[in-house]
Structure 1
Amino acid sequence: MVPPTLSRTPAFWSTAGILLLVLAASGVPTPLYRVYQEQFGFGPGMLTTVFGIYALALLAALLVVGGLSDHVGRRPVLVGGLLLQAVSMGVFLGADSVGWLLTARVLQGLSMGALTGTLGAMLLDTQRPDRPLGPLANSAGPGIGLSLGAVGAGLTVEYVATPTRWVFAVLAVVLLLCAALVALLPETSPRAPGALRSLRPAVRVPRPQRTAFLTALPAIVAAWALGGLYLSLGPSLVASVFGIDDHLVGGLLVLAMQGTAAAAAVLGRSLAPERAMVTGASVFAAGVAGTIAALVSGSVAVLFGSAVVSGLGFGLAFLGAVATASAGVAPAERAGLLSSVFVAGYLSFSVPAVAAGIAAGIVGLETVTEVYAAVLVVLALGAVAGVRLRRRATRAGRAPAPESLAA
Structure 2
Amino acid sequence: MNNQKNNNTKMKWGFIGAVYAFMIVMMGTTLPTPLYPIYSDTFQLSPLMITIIYAVYALGVIGGLLVFGQLSDRIGRRYVLIPGIILSVISAVVFLLASNVGLLLLGRVISGLSAGLFTSTATATIVNLAPDNKKNQASTIASSVNMLGLGFGPLLCGVLAQYLPYALHLVFIVDIVLLVPAFIGIWLMPEPIQNKQSFHIKVQKLSVPRKIRGTFIYAVIPVFVGFSMLGLFTAISPNFLGEILNIQNKAIIGVTVFLVFCASTVGQLLFKQKSDYNVLILGSATLIVGVILVGISLPLSSYALLLIGAIVSGFGQAFSFRAGLSTVNSVAPSDKQAEITSAFFTIAYVAISIPVVGVGLLQLGLSVQGAGIVFSIIVVVLAIISLLLLLTNHNKSNQNKAK
Q: Could you say which TM-score interval applies, normalised by the shorter chain?
A: over 0.9
Q: Which residue of 2 aligns with 1:276?
A: 279
Give the Cα separation in 2 of the matches to 1:154 and 1:17. 21
Q: Which residue of 1 aligns with 2:213?
A: 210
Specify the SS of the correspondent of 1:162: coil
Give the Cα separation in 1 of the matches to 2:184 and 2:15. 16
Give the Cα separation in 1 of the matches to 2:222 and 2:68. 25
Of the candidates 143, 153, 157, which is equivalent to residue 149 of structure 1?
Answer: 153
Specify the SS of the correspondent of 2:400: coil
1:165 aligns with 2:169: yes
Specify the SS of the correspondent of 2:168: helix
Q: Which residue of 2 aligns with 1:405?
A: none
Note if contact 1:61-1:114 (Cα within 8 Å) is conserved in structure 2.
yes
Give the Cα separation in 1 of the matches to 2:42 and 2:356. 22
Specify the SS of the correspondent of 2:70: coil
1:237 aligns with 2:249: no
Amino acid at match of 2:21: I
1:24 aligns with 2:27: yes
Q: Which residue of 2 aligns with 1:135?
A: 139
Note if contact 1:64-1:202 (Cα within 8 Å) is conserved in structure 2.
no
1:266 aligns with 2:269: yes
Note if contact 1:61-1:113 (Cα within 8 Å) is conserved in structure 2.
yes
Q: String of CA shifts for 1:98-118, please: whole Å, max 9, x gaps.
A: 000000111111121111111
Note if contact 1:70-1:191 (Cα within 8 Å) is conserved in structure 2.
no
Correspondence list, 1:322-337, <5 A: 322-337=325-340
Mark the runs of 5 or more structure 2 residues left unpaired by the alignment: 1-5
Give the Cα separation in 1 of the matches to 2:105 and 2:86. 19
Q: Which residue of 2 aligns with 1:402?
A: none
Structure 2 length as normaliser, TM-score? 0.93
Q: Which residue of 1 aligns with 2:384?
A: 381
Give the Cα separation in 1 of the matches to 2:274 and 2:49. 41
Give the Å deviation of 1:6: 4.9
Give the Cα separation in 1 of the matches to 2:144 and 2:185. 23
Larger mean Cα displacement after TM superposition, 266-275 or 69-78: 266-275
Q: Which residue of 2 aligns with 1:75?
A: 78
Note if contact 1:5-1:186 (Cα within 8 Å) is conserved in structure 2.
no
Give the Å deviation of 1:13: 2.5
Give the Å deviation of 1:293: 1.6
Structure 1 length as normaliser, TM-score? 0.92
Of the candidates 253, 258, 262, which is equivalent to residue 256 of structure 2?
Answer: 253
Of the candidates 359, 362, 365, which is equivalent to residue 362 of structure 1?
Answer: 365
Count of aligned pairs between the two proteins:
396
Query: Percentage identity across aligned positions?
Result: 26
Give the Cα separation in 2 of the matches to 1:223 and 1:49. 22
- State the Cα RMSD in Å: 2.0
Specify the SS of the correspondent of 1:396: helix
1:49 aligns with 2:57: no
Q: String of CA shifts for 1:353-379, please: whole Å, max 9, x gaps.
A: 112112112111101101101111111
Of the candidates 281, 293, 298, which is equivalent to residue 296 of structure 2?
Answer: 293
Amino acid at match of 1:38: D
Note if contact 1:52-1:350 (Cα within 8 Å) is conserved in structure 2.
yes
